[in-house]
A and B are shown apart, each in its own frame.
Chain A
């Protein structure tokens, strides 16, 4: 897959596609938008629209507080 091919493919918000909104209780969904280090994936990489990214950030932070996601992932090699 070359670069040109990639850059032309327009990313679509996952939440728009699935007609849902980010929810901290849905661990599997929220996990997708976190790097293995535990960081929130930026919009430019994940393609999430700004409306949903804002809600997603809140959802991830709530999930972290409830120990469903790590604040900092340890033991990555």
Chain B
């Protein structure tokens, strides 16, 4: 079955921009050759909530692509990154497309009524 995927990759923030750009290029090439690659979003450098491999900052990249789920792309990505020391973390998930339905909007309550009732 065809699925939408997204992968977040955290590169080591201590590396220079050139190195990260090169690693990003490698990842894009990998996805282009294996999947139907869509796009890359660069979130930029962020400080980490806790240290990973004693590093305190990371450069976040988000990749979106489509692939057949039988091909186990998440496993392939893991193999691709496992020995890569420039990468601190990677997470591949099936993308959720948010649905906005009419029902949800109708469920909004009238707040004024509640306050009047409460005071009395």
A39 shortest CB reach to chain B, Å = 14
Partner among A9, A23, A25, A71 whose Cβ is within 8 Å of the Cβ of B115: A9
Q: Which residues of B lie under 8 Å from residue A9 when comparing CB positions? A: 114-115, 118
Residue of A nearest to B52 (CB): A67
Judged by a CB distance under 8 angstroms, whether A16 is at the interface is yes
Please give the number of chain B residues whose Cβ is less than 8 angstroms from any Cβ of chain A in the complex: 29
Judged by a CB distance under 8 angstroms, whether B1 is at the interface is no
Judged by a CB distance under 8 angstroms, whether B107 is at the interface is yes
Establish whether residues B48 and A67, one from each chain, have CB atoms under 8 Å apart when the complex forms.
yes
Per the bound structure, the CA–CA distance linking A68 and B46 in Å amounts to 9
Known: A16-B104, A17-B108. A66 touches B89 (CB 8 A): yes
A54 shortest CB reach to chain B, Å = 13
**A-B pair number, CB within 8 angstroms:** 56
Establish whether residues A12 and B109, one from each chain, have CB atoms under 8 Å apart when the complex forms.
yes
Judged by a CB distance under 8 angstroms, whether A35 is at the interface is no
Establish whether residues B96 and A23, one from each chain, have CB atoms under 8 Å apart when the complex forms.
yes
Partner among A10, A25, A67 whose Cβ is within 8 Å of the Cβ of B58: A67
Establish whether residues B118 and A25, one from each chain, have CB atoms under 8 Å apart when the complex forms.
no
Establish whether residues B62 and A62, one from each chain, have CB atoms under 8 Å apart when the complex forms.
no
Q: Which residues of B lie under 8 Å from residue A70 when comparing CB positions? A: 49-50
Chain B contact residues, CB within 8 Å of chain A: 8, 10, 46, 48-50, 52, 58, 60, 62, 88-89, 91, 93, 96, 98-101, 104-105, 107-109, 114-115, 117-119
